[in-house]
Structure 1
Amino acid sequence: MLPELNDLNTFRKALKDAPGPDDAAAQEAVERNGQLTKPPGALGRLEDIAIWYAGWRGQSRPQINSPQVVVFAGNHGVTAQGVSAFPPEVTVQMVANFEHGGAAINQLAKSAGATMTVHALDLDRPTTDFTKAPAMSEDELLVALRTGWMAVDPEADLLVVGEMGIGNTTPAAAIACALFGGDASEWTGRGTGVDDAGLENKTRVVTEGVVLHAGCGDGLDILRCLGGREIAAMAGAIAAARVLRIPVILDGFICTSAAACLDQLAPGALDHTVAGHQSAESAHAAMLAKLGKDPLLTLGLRLGEGSGAALAINILKSAIACHSGMATFAEAGVSDG
């Protein structure tokens, strides 16, 4: 059961107190894997993924029947600084496209047999420009976290969270810079395709935001000062899945920035997650490395929406199908040497 989120400290406590995997189920999955009709390690990472999944679901021979994709949308006041190649109105238009089934994520979710929902967060009220003041108040952050928290279906057995928000690679870069240090240029990429002058401007904006909010506090405070409503909602959903022991496939740069805020809050906060892919956004690989996440796919994607993670659902399904469906040497009457 998920506790009710009455304040930010309740969120912090829920994440810190969240249960870990079922070690007995994971060990049984290890033993089963060693008996399957294949040479040891022949299925590579598929074997590791299956065992990891079994532990989080508490089943030595699990199945994936109810994957869920949730997309959150938000608008950003920092877009007034000219950080995106597209206007903020596109966020509203793309939400309508999601709702009518016309976006890439709709097709990928359908292909993976996943349910999909869309949550638009106050699109007519962008966050504050974080170069001037914190992007959100504590109450605004709590509302966004709660939206993600409540969006997770407790009956889901796998979760993907995606986003839509023109300009949101800028807050994602600022979050990464604030969490991991270094120069803003190391974390700032071209996003939707800004030119060289646009990249220089975007880097300036990230630098100003990180300097303004230096030392603002823990991962939640960084999320409040530099993030966005859809980024906070993703963090809320990933945290809820941790409490419910639902495995999560992380998407690209923006989703990973939300997850990184959780990682700063509590050791092991992301143990229930795998990286679905490494995006073409320049700093995504560095962020994954900081989190110790090795991506399942590297296909040059940079769309967001949860698209890369949704594509990876079928990788996990394949891993589980092999683990749970293959015969053991004894069942198949095959000599194991």
Structure 2
Amino acid sequence: MTNLPTGHSLDAVVRQRIDQKTKPLGALGRLEDLALQLALIQQTETPTLQNPHILVFAGDHGLAAEGVSAYPADITYGMVQNFIAGGAAINVFCRQNNLKLLVCDVGVAGTFAENTPEFVKFKIRPGTRNMRHEPAMTRDECEAAMDAGRTLVNGVQYRGCNVVGFGEMGIGNTSPASLLMHRLTGLPLDQCVGRGTGLDDAGLAHKRSVLQAVADTHAHFSDPLDVLSAMGGLEIAAMAGGMLQAAENSMVILVDGFVATSALLVAQALKPTVLANCIFCHLSNEAGHRLMLEHLGVEPLLNLGMRLGEGTGCALAYPIVQAAVGMLNEMASMDVL
């Protein structure tokens, strides 16, 4: 950390530096708040962004057999192949903004032959169980998925990364995300459930009915890890573990949309201080995300009406994060005028 004058906190020093830039007070709005947050995360007046990564965790869901998604479950496998081939939206946006992409199979119901630096296999099991009838994961499986996320975060930090975004792929995963939101925020389930991949009114009504049955089946669980094991997903558990590790490593955490924020809800329930490291990149068009963010007391950087996942919001918001650092480190102060 930069040496500070006696009696001055880093918060006060950075605020003063921002206020002295060649602009009216507060003229750069949210960018000023973001610059301060980055300085506090890294505990320095001059934060840097090094070797940024987006980690995309993929897993299938046994609950998809209940018809809670507009797409068949095997799309998960196909989309991971698309990530590997470089043809998905997240590949495009990462290339555009010079972000490294790392895709991890923690629970896809299929076998991948590929073994590349951008794709790692950390499969815990081939998809979760059908949580309508039994817990989605055992406690050991859940913790193993969290450990996978921790391992990947430590791996990219070892390669010099200090800013990491979290994305996911898993057909049906807005259902576990909605259930986690319901249980961890206390909000009514109907306010947490949306159309996911594009369900019509009948499909949405069916999804709500199925999720209510799941919530009733697992109503006795309250411990965050028990809730995650019973009603979560392998990719959600991996993101939660990765977020916790990133916070422990004093890394900047980029949070994507609805499903990624549900993982953050779990992480925050386990360690509330993780929130200080998080930048919420966009407001998902999935019903419930705005309420989720309001529960956390945070504001997203972007609102583009997206609901894709994959970490796409992180990749698109990253240039704004870069701009905040550039403003703090490179913009002149009033004393030059």
Tell whether the structures are fold-level matches, with TM greater than 0.5: yes
SS in 1 for 2:56: strand
Q: 2:264 aligns with which of 259, 264, 274?
A: 259
Out of 178, 181, 206, the residue aligned to residue 201 of structure 1 is: 206
Please tell me whether the aligned partners of residues 158 and 247 of structure 1 are also in contact (alpha carbons under 8 angstroms).
Answer: yes
Letter in 2 for 1:64: L
Separation in structure 2 between the aligned mates of residue 132 and residue 315 of structure 1, nearest angstrom: 44
Residues 201-210 or 225-234, more deviating: 201-210
Work out whether residues 57 and 169 of structure 2, in 8 Å CA contact, stay in contact via their aligned partners in 1.
yes
Decide which of 282, 286, 293 is 1:288's aligned counterpart: 293
**For residues 243 and 268 of structure 1, what CA distance do their matches in structure 2 show?**
10
The match for 2:133 is 132
Q: 2:138, 2:314 → 1: CA distance?
A: 30
Q: Secondary structure at the match of 1:279?
A: coil
**CA shift in 2, pair 1:195/1:52, >3 Å:** same
Name the residue aligned to 2:15.
Answer: 30
Which position in structure 1 is the counterpart of 2:308? 303
- How many Å apart are 1:104 and its aligned residue? 0.4
* Cα distance in 2 for residues equivalent to 1:41 and 1:239: 32
State whether residues 26 and 60 of structure 1, in contact with CA within 8 Å, keep that contact through their aligned partners in structure 2. Answer: no
Distance in 2 (alpha carbons) for counterparts of 1:95 and 1:129: 22
Partners of 1:231 and 1:329 lie apart in 2 by: 47
CA contact (8 A) 1:218 1:264 kept: no
**Does residue 90 of the first structure (1) align with residue 79 of the second (2)?**
no
CA contact (8 A) 1:278 1:300 kept: yes
Is the 8 Å Cα contact of residues 66 and 156 (structure 1) preserved in structure 2?
yes
Residue by residue over 1:252-296, the C-alpha shift from the partner in whole angstroms, topping out at 9 and shown as x without a partner, is 100000101122223323111021010100110000100111111
Q: 1:59 and 2:52 equivalent?
A: no
Secondary structure of the residue that 1:69 maps to in structure 2?
strand
CA distance in 2, matches of 1:266, 1:158: 19
Deviation at 1:122, TM superposition (A): 3.0
Structure 1 residue 276 corresponds to structure 2 residue 277: no
- Name the aligned partner's letter for residue 51 of structure 1: L
Cα deviation 1:44-74 (Å, max 9, x = unaligned):
0101100110111122012223211000000
Q: 1:34: how far off?
A: 2.1
CA distance in 1, matches of 2:235, 2:229: 12
Q: CA–CA distance in 2 between the matches of 1:115 and 1:25?
A: 31
Tell me which residue corresponds to 1:167: 172
Aligned to 1:8: none
What letter is aligned with 1:75? D
1:177 counterpart residue number? 182
Q: Which amino acid aligns with 1:82?
A: G
Residue 314, structure 1, aligned to residue 299, structure 2: no
For structure 2, list consecutive stretches of 5 or more residues without a partner in the other structure: 1-7, 110-125
Q: Is the 8 A contact 1:218 1:265 kept in 2?
A: no
Q: CA deviation at 1:24?
A: 4.4
Give the whole-Å Cα distance in 2 for the aligned partners of 1:85 and 1:65. 39
Counterpart-to-counterpart distance in 2, 1:24 and 1:68: 31
Equivalent in the alignment of 2:32? 47
Q: Distance in 2 between matches of 1:200 and 1:126?
A: 25
Equivalences, count: 310
Q: Distance in 2 between matches of 1:240 and 1:293?
A: 21
Deviation of residue 184 (structure 1)?
A: 1.9
TM-score of the pair, normalised by structure 1: 0.89
Partner in structure 2 of residue 228 of structure 1: 233
Amino acid at match of 1:327: A
Instruction: Kindly indicate whether the alpha-carbon contact (under 8 Å) linking 2:107 and 2:128 is maintained by their aligned counterparts in 1.
Output: no
What is the CA RMSD across the aligned residues, in angstroms?
1.3
Amino acid at match of 1:131: R
Could you tell me which residue of structure 2 aligns to residue 14 of structure 1? none
Per-residue CA distance 1:214-241 (angstroms, 9 max, x = gap) = 1313222211110000000110111111
2:287 counterpart SS class: coil
Match of 2:114 in 1: none
SS of residue in 2 equivalent to 1:161: strand
Letter in 2 for 1:151: L
Structure 2 counterpart SS, 1:33: helix
Distance in 2, Cα, partners of 1:183 & 1:276: 25
Does structure 2 conserve the Cα–Cα contact (< 8 Å) formed by 1:250 and 1:256? yes
Partner of 1:121, secondary structure, is strand
Deviation, structure 1 residue 81: 0.1
* Structure-2 separation of matches of 1:143 and 1:170: 21
Q: CA deviation at 1:161?
A: 0.4
